[in-house]
Structure 1
């Protein structure tokens, strides 16, 4: 192979990787793999998941999410007497130098008021994440097959399965 062919191949590979990349950066924060699972057509709400890595020396906080739904909140899941309950939280702390996972059974984004229009595999949900220090960033939550979580290794995203 000539140097030109190698360089062209490397450039094409980099473009292909960028086309499939699913992370975003704002300030010192890296938001990785925003996603939600498909829901039943009659679902009234759906959860959104992602990881946020703070590469800086200063803590930040996720203070809100905007999306085209009647209500979008930050939630956590708490278990009491063997019953899991979702609770609204005002903000999610993102300590300096750490990664925070929003994942099933823990912290997550709750999209409410789906109104009989559930999440379909392959769909993209545009949203704006609002951080106290870093500001706002537009992201897209990819809707994935619920069973795909077991097949898709999220370990590089800081999420546990």
Structure 2
């Protein structure tokens, strides 16, 4: 009976992890293709958390460093900086796009070829403080897909 309880507890933990991760909807995800020798690129998507959440990190085996970045005007200068987290207010779409918030893939281990995919893991914290992960296979594009915001090249 004791082993059954341990197995049941582990199964419930895995189930709650999956449900929490599914609480964030990802649309229009894409990553910008890179060329040999290019060491960084960006990934973009729209995130919606019906119950609210926070994007607390990102990672990818395709890069030595994966960070959440923000670009914004500081006077007359566009500046990019890493941010530790990004709130996803309940029911509001948050766009990660060129020229705004985005995922930076730094120290690329190999070029990201057009029409391939790149694995990216979103690290999330729900409104109750429960951490989860959302595994994505993001398509690699040479330019922003139609309907996506174009703009800044990394």
Q: Shorter chain as normaliser: what TM range?
A: 0.7 to 0.9
- Quote the Cα distance in structure 1 between the aligned partners of 2:83 and 2:106: 15
Aligned to 2:66: 72
Q: Does 1:102 align with 2:99?
A: no
Q: Does 1:130 align with 2:135?
A: no
Aligned pair count reads 126
**Cα offset for 1:55?**
1.9
Q: Which 4+ runs in 1 deviate beyond 3 A?
A: none
**Cα offset for 1:80?**
2.5
Question: For the aligned residues, what is the CA RMSD?
Answer: 1.9
Show structure 2 runs of 5+ residues with no match: 1-19
**Cα offset for 1:127?**
1.6
Q: Does 1:90 align with 2:84?
A: yes
- Quote the Cα distance in structure 2 between the aligned partners of 1:145 and 1:77: 21
Q: With the length of structure 1 as denominator, give the TM-score of the two structures.
A: 0.71
Aligned to 1:111: 105
The partner residue of 1:42 within 31, 37, 43 is: 37
Show structure 1 runs of 5+ residues with no match: 1-24, 155-159
**Cα offset for 1:103?**
0.2
- Quote the Cα distance in structure 2 between the aligned partners of 1:88 and 1:120: 25
